[in-house]
Structure 1
Amino acid sequence: MTPGKELIFLPLGGSGEIGMNVNLYGCNGKWVMVDLGMTFADPSYPGVDLILPDLSFIEERRKDLLGVVLTHGHEDHIGAIPYLANDLGVPLYATPFTAGLIRKKLEEEGILDQVELNIIPLAGTLKLGDFTFTYAALAHSIPEGNALIIDTPYGRVFHTGDWKLDDKPQLGVPSTEAELRAIGDKGVLAMVGDSTNVFNMEASGSEEGVRIGLDEVIQSRAKGRVLVTTFASNAARLHTLGQVAKDTGRHLVLVGRSMDRILTTAKAAGYLKDFPPLMSFENAARADPSSLLIVCTGAQGEPNAALSRIAAGSHSHLKLEPGDLVVYSSKQIPGNELAIGHVQNALAARGIEVITEKQAHVHVSGHPGRPELEKMYAWIRPQIAIPVHGERRHLEEHAKLALSIGVPRAMVPSNGGAIRLAPDGPKLVGHEKVGRLVLDGDVILPADGATMVQRRRIMHNGYVSATLVLNKAGKLAAAPSIIMQGVPVEEDREDFIAEMAEAAGKAGQGDSRNAEKFAESVRVAVRRVARDWTGKKPVTDVQVVQL
């Protein structure tokens, strides 16, 4: 579709899911993109770490795409940039800290000189065709969380990005109630807003409270080392932990390349100026354990992250001992329960105490609870509520909440659903192609393509290969060779392989002149044996070698 004299909202990711935020706005024949994020893979994508949005719709219309405007620097909003931005071929726009994170990503990918990255000052404005964007600072768990005020010929949109209300923010100066009311006073057509914590009946709370909670836990419970794990991108939490280190008289040790990157970028952008000096790994190894506060990545149980290696005793520099304390200053993302539990069990087995947000006030969310949503709607007063950044249940509840507090209209979007906001909106006017891509090693593939389908089959059923050698007359020149991987046969393995070879040999007595039909008959015979023995249908390949 091509937007006409209208204002269209079209999410390509982030609506019906938490993560991978990509949103298009269209009017007068042109499009702009807000955010270009990714999400992390779950076990249904074996061997894959990152999931990227399928941008086919807008790639086919790239001549009509004016640019990509970024709200803030979290991975679910900027993480796909190094993999997809070069193909879009349009400028990127971000505030200084977010631009610093993006620049490092582009450098690592070797495409910094191929992608135009523009830095917009805090509270700055940019114009792209008939769109005018103005940044409005909001509190979040990373510096420079921003809403976007998007002015168009057909009305104003308040796109919240990720946000919360915080009376005592640790980094940055968010917009005040008066400033947000002033935005609403000018008239807002639609608020496109964060739905993550819509089921939370209480406000998210201030980062200042986390500092107090961590101080209390460390001073009352810690006798040896204290290790705090949190999201690497949570620069506000890094600031808090720097203050906690001072409060408790401990030396700060930072572990994890991603944390180093956030710290360096934050300092370059003018944040974390009073962050305490860091102790090296070498000095930490010699220091009194009770003098250390270690901050590391791995809060979600990532196998290769620092905390997983420390828990397993395999980290090359840092060790924990019985009596040490590990604090999870983060929430548990749904789907990561098993991985997190594995790490926590490994810590417990070594006599290390673990404290989470369930036992103490050591974390607050960066997203708005229900009271905060109600306040924002009272200030912005949109005519239309468009909930995004949540699973379907979050979006539906957010829409109900908006309507219940006086927003005239609400509509729940889905990825690919084109919603006309004006005139006469909201109205669903089409559904465009969306999907997922996987970053598999260095290759980008369709998430539902042949590679992933076959890999899942191998993961669930195993793999069998049968090789048949035929002489010039097309007859078997040797006994078939069988190789298997992951098929659930162990003690009787030799008998199992022998029976498969016998089945392959019998099928191999057939007419080999039709190579495809011949190979298929062997494949069916071999897999039938596997099914009879195991109840599984392994992925089965047949190789025919003609002498």
Structure 2
Amino acid sequence: MPATSGDLALIPLGGTGEIGLNLNVYRCGEDLLAVDCGIGFGGSDSPEAEVMVPDATWLAERKDQLLALVITHAHEDHLGAVAHLWPQLRCPIYASPFASAVLRRKLGEAGLLQQVRLHTVSLGGAFELGPFGLQFLRVTHSVPESQALVLRTPFGTVLHTGDWKLDPTPLLGQPTDEAAFEALGREGVLAMVCDSTNALVDGHSGSEAEVLDALTELFGELKGRIAVTCFATNVARLYAISQAAMANDRQVALFGRSLRNADAAAREAGYLKDVPPFLTEEEAGFLPDDALVIVCTGSQGEPRSALSKIAADTHPQISLGEGDTVIYSSRQIPGNERAISRVQDQLRRAGCRVVTADERPVHVSGHPARDELRKLYALVRPRFSVPVHGEWRHLEQHASLAREAGAEPILIEDGDVLRLSGNRPSVVESVPTGRLAVDGDRLLPLEGGVLAARRRMLFNGVVVASLAVDGDGRVVGEPMVSAPGLFEHLDAEPGQIASELARAVGDLPSNLRRDDDPLREAARTALRRALGRRLRKRPMVDVHLLRV
């Protein structure tokens, strides 16, 4: 490991003080290393943005210093933004075999696969990048091959846990490598940057084997079609569903592109070997109801997901109703509660029974509860604790637990530059951060003009007037006013507003009517006044001016 000048710092650009959008940067001297690059969901706070990514502008401006991006595991909130942000960063990527398989599909869909240098690192593998000596440590999580990342530097060793839990009986892969963490603790750890998601939850997170038992028992009680919704990359849950189905003489079909991609990536990485190929959406319709289990995307109420389409009875291949059951084998991501409730209400209205983890043990978290956190601190014995991956209430509770465990906690949030070298870690500066909305092939700032206009249209509506004038600015014919979402189809108000607009333009001074820009702005003002008298609100207005 080469010597270096400067300092060692952690710079979270997303995922600290919030759920999702994980993007962390480590600085050692002049070199930068990024860890994870994930998405988040808009939810009720940002209805104009369904999917968001962290704003990586600060990092992109320093891409010449960026050694690589290391991915800890294959969940969307840790790698889902790679295809969106890599064109700005253009750095090598290091990931486990399963995460690499997932990334290849995402990068291929984005047309980037041939451009990205994607390095596959074996489980528990070690590699060096500049001043960083890096090593993966095996952890259990709700996706195969989750890895904690050890960063050995001239200034000390940092453990970046990623997402993890202590599951003694995982259905796929091996348990968390507690011996490796204990050995790391004996070596000495300067700081542990650790998952805080379940820092408010007492006890233990539970085991995937318990979910298998619960699903097997529940499937045996049910008649009719069974639908299970879960996170697509929870391959252990796919395995549990398949085993529970086979134990009850049912076959399993996958509904949703992300599930099919996860299945293909898992089989490519050597998982699900003893699971028969899943049925397609088309094949599912030919099975008797009592012989079918479908697994579908949409556990968070995503409007374009398979489950949302099924609930709305708009899915082209399948329908659910009286006598059928939908099992939510997932947790609610904060902010998605309203969307999830809406889909569940639609399902119940159609006659479906809805089963959640509040009723039966059909889900366990992939994140450590408080007893698991205590055990990891006892193994690693870090000098300092940096809680990440959680909202502020999670970080505070994690900090309190870390202090009890003998580690000094340091609370930070996105944009803080936490210097880890020196006598005691401290925030020495801040860098700009933010969120970008994924809008087709574009990334739009949440506070930018486009999304601000959408928010305004969402709550106040939009009115567009089309106006034709001659060379002298006299109105030709009758203006057309369109106001979707503000008036009913047969309402008289749009016609009345059009007449008022024509009169207002006719009353303008002749010299103003000959100039397009002043005429257009005066027409907008007249349109706003006419709307204000009727609606008592301020919709977004625009005027299309045609000079004939």
Query: So what's the TM-score if we normalise by structure 2?
Result: 0.94
1:255 Cα deviation after fit: 2.0
- Is 1:167 equivalent to 2:168 in the alignment? yes
8 A Cα contact 2:481 2:498, kept in partner: no
Which residue type is aligned with residue 439 of structure 1? V
Question: What are the residue-to-residue correspondences of 1:141-220 with 2, within 5 Å?
Answer: 141-220=142-221
Mean alpha-carbon deviation: is it higher for 337-346 or for 527-536? Answer: 337-346
Question: What is the CA-CA distance between 1:328 and the residue it aligns to?
Answer: 1.0
Structure 2: where are the runs of 5+ without partners? none
CA contact (8 A) 1:38 1:77 kept: yes
Letter of the 2:444 counterpart:
L
Classify 1:46/1:348 alpha carbon distance in 2 versus 1 (closer, same or farther; 3 Å): closer
Change (3 A) 1:544 1:280: closer
Q: Which segments of 5 or more consecutive residues in structure 1 lack a partner in the other structure? A: none
Equivalent residue runs for 1:312-323 within 5 Å: 312-323=312-323
| CA shift in 2, pair 1:191/1:309, >3 Å | same
Displacement of 1:62: 0.9
In 2, Cα distance between equivalents of 1:394 and 1:51: 21
CA distance in 2, matches of 1:202, 1:106: 39
Give the secondary structure class of the aligned counterpart of 1:263. Answer: helix
Question: 1:296 Cα deviation (Å)?
Answer: 1.7
Shift of 1:259: 1.2
Structure 1 residues 291, 467: closer, same or farther in 2, change over 3 A?
closer
Partner of 1:510: 508
1:281 CA drift (Å): 4.7
Which residue number in structure 2 is paired with residue 102 of structure 1? Answer: 103
After TM superposition, which residue ranges in structure 1, 4 or more long, deviate above 6 angstroms? Answer: none
Is the 1:21–1:37 contact (alpha carbons within 8 Å) kept by the matching residues of 2?
Answer: yes
Between 86-95 and 252-261, the greater mean CA deviation after superposition: 252-261
1:443 aligned residue: 442
Partner amino acid for 2:441? Answer: D
CA distance in 2, matches of 1:499, 1:451: 27
Q: Map of 1:80-479 to 2, 5 A cutoff?
A: 80-220=81-221, 222-281=222-281, 284-407=284-407, 409-472=408-471, 474-478=472-476
Any conservation in 2 of the 1:300–1:339 contact (CA below 8 Å)? Answer: yes
The Cα of 1:508 is off from its aligned counterpart by 4.5
In the TM superposition, residue 254 of structure 1 has moved relative to its aligned partner by 2.1
Report the 3-state secondary structure (helix = DSSP H, G, I; strand = E; otherwise coil) of the residue aligned with 1:286. coil
1:171–1:236 contact (8 Å) kept in structure 2? yes
Q: Give distance in 2, aligned partners of 1:367 and 1:120.
A: 23
1:335 is displaced (CA, Å) by 2.2
**Corresponding residue for 2:492?**
494
Of 321-330 and 99-108, more deviation after overlay is shown by: 321-330
Residue 57 of structure 1 and its aligned partner are, at CA, apart by 0.8
1:482 offset after TM fit, Å? 3.6
The answer as to whether partners of 2:9 and 2:420 remain within 8 angstroms in 1 is yes
SS of 1:253's equivalent in the other structure is: strand
State the shift of 1:180 in Å: 1.4
1:84 alignment partner, SS class:
helix
TM-score by length of 1: 0.94
> What value does the CA root-mean-square deviation take over the aligned residues?
2.0
Answer yes or no: is the 8 Å Cα contact 1:48–1:441 preserved in 2: no
What displacement does 1:514 show? 5.6
Count of paired positions: 542
* 1:438 CA displacement: 1.5
> Larger deviation: 443-452 or 63-72?
443-452
Shift of 1:492: 7.8
Match of 2:334, SS state, is coil
Identity between Structure 1 and Structure 2 (%):
42
Q: Residues 448 and 280 from structure 1, CA distance in 2 versus in 1: closer, same or farther, beyond 3 angstroms? A: closer
Contact 1:200 1:370 in 2 (8 A): yes
Counterpart-to-counterpart distance in 2, 1:280 and 1:42: 30
Say if 2:165 and 2:176, in contact at 8 Å, map to a contact too: no
Which one is further off, 524-533 or 375-384? Answer: 524-533
2:483–2:494: 8 Å Cα contact kept in structure 1?
A: no
The alpha-carbon deviation at position 321 of structure 1 amounts to: 4.0
User: Contact between 2:199 and 2:370, CA under 8 Å: does it hold in 1?
Assistant: yes
CA–CA distance in structure 1, aligned partners of residues 478 and 423 of structure 2: 70
Q: Is the 8 A contact 1:250 1:292 kept in 2?
A: yes
Provide closer, same or farther for how the CA distance between residues 215 and 391 of structure 1 changes in structure 2, counting only shifts above 3 A.
same
2:483 is the counterpart of 1:485: yes
Report the CA distance between 1:114 and its aligned residue: 0.7
The Cα shift of 1:286 comes to 3.5
Query: Aligned equivalents of 1:291 and 1:166: distance in 2?
Result: 31
1:521 aligns to what?
522
Which whole-Å deviations, capped at 9, do the CAs of 1:191-214 have from their partners, x for residues lacking one?
Answer: 001111111112110001111111
Show the counterpart of 1:68. Answer: 69
Residue 374 of structure 2 aligns with an amino acid whose one-letter code is E
The SS at the match of 1:376 is helix
AA aligned to 1:381 is R
Residue identity in the other structure for 2:454: R
CA contact (8 A) 1:21 1:77 kept: yes
Give 1:163's aligned amino acid.
W
